[in-house]
Structure 1
Amino acid sequence: MSKATSIFSAENLDAIRRHLESVGFVSVLHWHLHGARHPTPLAFSDFEAFEGYMKDYAKAGDAIDVWPFPTDNGERIAKGKIPEHDGSILQGGAY
């Protein structure tokens, strides 16, 4: 099993920011650790809106997948989990 990384890592955030600045859109799946529900599909055209959503709605342990839009499932831009308050990343989970 590979170790999960933070969606807030510099590498992930830089990749998302670069894509939004050069292309303009990303497609996001927000997988909720708690709540027993399907992932929330989202789209963003602005890095600050993406970052604001993550800070306001994503909880520790949630998983985030980011693709270019229009979506090409083979070319994911970033993948990571929301870290705990201490910066640790929950390993495992349903996803």
Structure 2
Amino acid sequence: MVDLEITRHARERTTARAIPPLIVEMIVEFGDSCDAGDGARKYALSKEGMRRLRRYAGHAVADEANRFRSRNAYVVAAHGRVVTAAFSSKPIIR
């Protein structure tokens, strides 16, 4: 898995939004990214990302991650640090 530092803000947000740290790591490791401004990247699980995750970790893990994908979970990271994680009303990446 990716070695990322989680900021205090991100830890507070993930706790408040019930996004487990392992899901955050999976989104960054297997998700696709787009520019989030100021050198940050926004990561979300796409269909292809879910296929990669399923091949790597199996169906049970991918099914759990898919619960968060279906709610449009995303992670913002910059310079090796997770800045925040949240749910979007619309898909970030298709």
Same fold (TM over 0.5): no
Structure index of larger Rg: 1
Q: Which has the larger share of helix? A: 2
TM-score between both structures, scaled by the size of structure 2:
0.30
